[in-house]
Structure 1
Amino acid sequence: MTKAVILGNHDAWNTRKFSGREKDAVQLQLECLGDEHVGYRRMDLPMLKLSIVGGRPFSCGGRPLFRKQLLKARYGVHDMDRSAERILQAAMGTPEDHSIIFLAHNGPTGLGANVDDICGRDWYVDGGDHGDPDLAHALAQLKEAASYSVPLVIFGHMHKQLASGNAFRKMIVVGNDNTIYLNGAIVPRVRPPALTAESEGTSRAFTVAEISNGTVEKIAETWISVIGDKTRLEEELILFSSPSRGSVHPSL
Structure 2
Amino acid sequence: MFFCALLFPAATNSLGDEHVGYQRLDFPSFKLSIVGGRPFSRGGDQLFRTKLLYQRYRVHDMDASVRSICQAAHGTPEDHVAIILAHNGPTGLGSQAEDICGKDWWEEGGDHGDPDLEQALRQLKETTKLSVPLVVFGHMHKELQSGKGNRKMVVQSSDNQTIYLNGAIVPRVKGTKEKSSSGIGENEIPVGTAESESGGGGTTRAFTLVEILDGKIKKVAEIWVQVIGSIAKIVEETTLFEDVT
TM-score by length of 2: 0.84
Partner residue, 2:185: none
Aligned positions, number: 216
Question: Which amino acid counterpart does residue 134 of structure 1 have in structure 2?
Answer: D
Question: Which amino acid counterpart does residue 240 of structure 2 have in structure 1?
Answer: L
1:221 is aligned to 2:203: no
Single out whichever of 208-217 and 108-117 deviates more from structure 2.
Answer: 208-217
Maintained 8 Å contact 2:37/2:87? yes
Pairwise CA distance, 1:191: 1.2
Which residue of the other structure, out of 57, 72, 85, is the alignment partner of 1:75?
57
Aligned partners of 1:208, 1:194: CA distance in 2, in Å?
26
Single out whichever of 220-229 and 196-205 deviates more from structure 2.
Answer: 196-205
Deviations 1:51-83 (A, max 9, x none): 000000111001010111110111100001100
Q: Percent identity?
A: 59
1:102 is aligned to 2:103: no
Aligned partners of 1:67, 1:136: CA distance in 2, in Å?
20
TM-score by length of 1: 0.81
Partner residue, 1:234: 235
Aligned partners of 2:16, 2:232: CA distance in 1, in Å?
26
Aligned partners of 2:120, 2:219: CA distance in 1, in Å?
26
Partner residue, 1:14: none
- 1:194/1:235 CA distance change after superposition, 3 Å: farther
Which has the higher relative contact order, 1 or 2, with Cα contacts under 8 A spaced 6 or more apart?
A: 2
Question: Which amino acid counterpart does residue 182 of structure 1 have in structure 2?
Answer: L
Aligned partners of 1:104, 1:194: CA distance in 2, in Å?
35
Partner residue, 1:249: none
Question: Which amino acid counterpart does residue 105 of structure 2 have in structure 1?
Answer: W
Partner residue, 2:204: 203
Q: 3-state DSSP class of the match of 1:71? A: helix
Contiguous gaps of at least 5 residues in structure 1:
6-31, 245-252
Aligned partners of 1:241, 1:3: CA distance in 2, in Å?
20
Contiguous gaps of at least 5 residues in structure 2:
1-9, 182-199
